[in-house]
Amino acid sequence: MGPRITIDCATLMNKGLEFIEAKWLFGLKDNEIEIVIHPQSLIHSAVQYWDGSVIAQIGNKDMRLPIQYALSYPQRWPNVFERVNLFENKMEFEKPDLNKFPCLRYALEAVKTGESMPIVLNATDEVAVKLFLDEK
């Protein structure tokens, strides 16, 4: 999807930014959001309801289908993307290691600090990634 998102995925900064987005877009409290690492990258989103059931959007590692779903909702557009084969893929889930991935920890701390700190975090990430890509 591009150099920045590739780096943000590798550092888990993307998970931190998604945490911030979910909190503000859906008016959630910090303890109502759980960050789950799914190494196979088949589950693109999941919601657990009050009754404990979980509904997930599952597809191949390609982001075209989740983006199409977001753009077409509530309709379902046909597509030419390869369909996920659930028999060829196993799904594992892990808790994030905040020591191994400090960018994720920074995002969680930015939320706790509040005010404009999430904006500062995002701007800092943009500058840091650009410097990295420019080999500086």
How far CA 105 is from CA of 10, 13, 15, 62, 109, in Å, comes to: 14, 9, 10, 26, 6
Q: Would you state the pLDDT for residue 1? A: 63
pTM value is 0.83
Residue range 66-75: mean pLDDT, rounded: 91
Average pLDDT, the chain: 93
**pLDDT per position as a tens digit, 112-123:** 999 999 999 999
CA-atom Rg of the chain in angstroms? 16
Domain layout of the chain by residue ranges: 1-33+97-136, 38-93
Residue type at 60 in one-letter notation: N
The single residue listed with the structure tokens 């659930």 is 86
How far is residue 123's CA from residue 105's CA, in Å, rounded to a whole number? Answer: 16
pLDDT-wise least confident of 64-68, 102-106, 131-135: 64-68
Three-state SS sequence of 39-78: CCCCEEEEEECCCCCEEEEECCCCCHHHHHHHHHCCCCCC
Asked if 11 contacts 103 with a C-beta cutoff of 8 angstroms, the reply is yes
DSSP state of 31: G
**pLDDT per position as a tens digit, 7-50:** 999 999 999 999 999 999 999 999 999 999 999 989 988 999 99
How far is residue 129's CA from residue 52's CA, in Å, rounded to a whole number? Answer: 38
Closest by CA position to 107, among listed 131, 129, 123, 130: 123
**pLDDT per position as a tens digit, 95-114:** 999 999 999 999 999 999 99
